[in-house]
Amino acid sequence: MITFLNTIFAGRVMRVAIQGEKGSYSDEAASKFFGDYEAIYSRFLEEVFDSVTSGEASYGVIPVENSTTGSIRKALDLLLENDVRVVGEVKIKIRHALLSVKGAKLEDIKVVYSHPEAISQCEGFLRSREWTVIPSFDTAGAAREVAKLGDRSKAAIAGEHVADIYNLDILARDIQDLPHNTTRFFVMGRQDSSMSEANTTSLFFATRHAPGALWRALGAFARRNINLLWLESRPIRKEPWNYSFFVEFEGSLLDENVKEALKELKDRTLWLKILGSYKREEEKW
């Protein structure tokens, strides 16, 4: 999706770290962004960051926000704590399905496995049934486990396409609470992207504990008519009761008004960490 990748890695298949297994939504996002790639599958988000910062992977793909349940807070915390840059984004339409072994019927199900985010996105469907719900590390991994167990009383919530990968039946389709359920993924690496097409930038900053400190900091954007897309406070995990602010806004680090805003923002904050500029993907559904 971003042209500099084709130039730097021409003729090579990139190694990309993702959380989850083959068929996960992260796998789908990485395929959408890179095309062919060599996956480094990880159980934990921390392992994705470790693969990128160590150089084992050229890039990592991580979920950062869902249109139904909001931000993926662990991902934001790890973006702050690790020396990485955001170089792109991908949006994936999430269509959850209930999967079980061949021959199973909906009335057979007693236990359901899935990632906590998927479970929360299907609360309405699950709440209407007296099933035991067990969190898993990954949607595709939950489906693989159900296939391995071979028990008709067990099912997994995952994407429909996972049924073919693990030879499962689809017992129910589109079980997410809201039809327009979309997850945003960040593509991260160790260096900035070519920003010629970038139209979005994200960063973290912290302010002093003083009245109006945040208002004055954000004024750097307001005075230049820069539109904020996302603002969220996060506790700094190594500094109890201190908070950072994640901000995503329209514009590129190459834009003069953005350069001016960041210069002013730096003067009005304790510290500033710029994650990078990237092209925001427009939704086509």
- CATH number, residue 150: 3.40.190.10
Report residue 199's pLDDT band, with 50, 70 and 90 as the boundaries: very high
Boundaries of domain holding 224 = 200-278
pLDDT of residue 84: 97
Is the CA virtual torsion 114, 117, 123, 125 positive or negative?
negative
Whether 6 is in a domain gets the answer no
CA distance 180 to 284: 12
Q: Tokens in use for 187?
A: 């593509």
Sign, Cα dihedral of 87, 95, 38, 43:
positive
Q: Residue 241 has what pLDDT? A: 87
pLDDT at site 1? 52
Half-sphere exposure of 181 (CA within 13 A, CB side): 20
Q: Are 55 and 40 within 8 A, CB to CB?
A: no
Confidence of residue 4 (pLDDT cuts 50, 70, 90): very low
Residue 12 has pLDDT above 80, yes or no: no
What would you measure as the largest C-alpha separation in the chain, in angstroms?
A: 64
In a domain, 2, yes or no: no
Structure confidence at residue 6 (pLDDT): 45
Q: Cite the DSSP H helix spans in 44-122.
A: 45-54, 73-81, 116-121
Residue among 76, 91, 78 nearest 202 (CA): 76
pLDDT for the residue numbered 254: 94
- Identify whether 262 is part of a domain: yes
pTM of the model: 0.89
Return the half-sphere exposure (C-beta side, CA atoms, 13 A cut-off) of residue 141: 18
d(CA 257, CA 235): 29
116-150 pLDDT, tens digit each:
999 999 999 999 999 999 999 999 999 999 999 99
162 and 102 both lie in a single domain? yes
Alpha-carbon Rg for the chain in angstroms: 21
In a domain, 4, yes or no: no
Classify residue 285: in a domain, yes or no.
no
Q: Which of 189, 219, 249 is the last residue of a domain?
A: 189
Q: Is residue 120 part of a domain?
A: yes
Locate 151 and state its tokens.
């028990």
The per-residue pLDDT for 226 is 98
215 lies in some domain:
yes
In this structure, the number of other CB atoms found within 10 A of the CB of residue 179 comes to 9
Of 189, 215, 234, the one marking the end of a domain is: 189
Residues 30 and 89 in one domain: yes
Average pLDDT, the chain: 93
Are 216 and 234 part of one and the same domain? yes
Domain check: are 79 and 107 in the same one? Answer: no
Report whether pLDDT(7) > 60.
no
Q: What is the mean pLDDT of residues 256-279?
A: 97
Count the alpha carbons within 13 Å of 16 in the hemisphere toward its beta carbon.
28
Q: At 174, which amino acid appears?
A: D
Q: What is the pLDDT of residue 121?
A: 94
Do 64 and 78 lie in a common domain? Answer: yes
Greater pLDDT, 68 or 284: 68
Q: How confident is the model at residue 195 (pLDDT cuts 50, 70, 90)?
A: confident
Reported as type and span, the H/E element at residue 37 is strand 37-42
| pLDDT of amino acid 3 | 45
pLDDT, average across residues 102-115: 97
Question: Between the CA of residue 4 and those of 37, 87, 170, 194, 196, what are the distances in Å?
Answer: 16, 10, 40, 6, 10
Mean pLDDT of 10-21: 84
Whether residue 89 sits in one domain with residue 17 = yes
What is the tally of structural domains in the chain? 3
Asked if the structure places residue 81 within a domain, the reply is yes
Burial of 143 (0-12, 13-18, 19+ CB in 10 A): buried
Give the pLDDT confidence of 32-66 residue by residue, as tens digits.
999 999 999 999 999 999 999 999 999 999 999 99
Show which of 159, 189, 219 is a domain's final residue. 189
CATH number for the domain including 270? 3.30.70.260
Interval 216-250: pLDDT, tens: 999 999 999 999 999 999 998 888 888 999 999 99
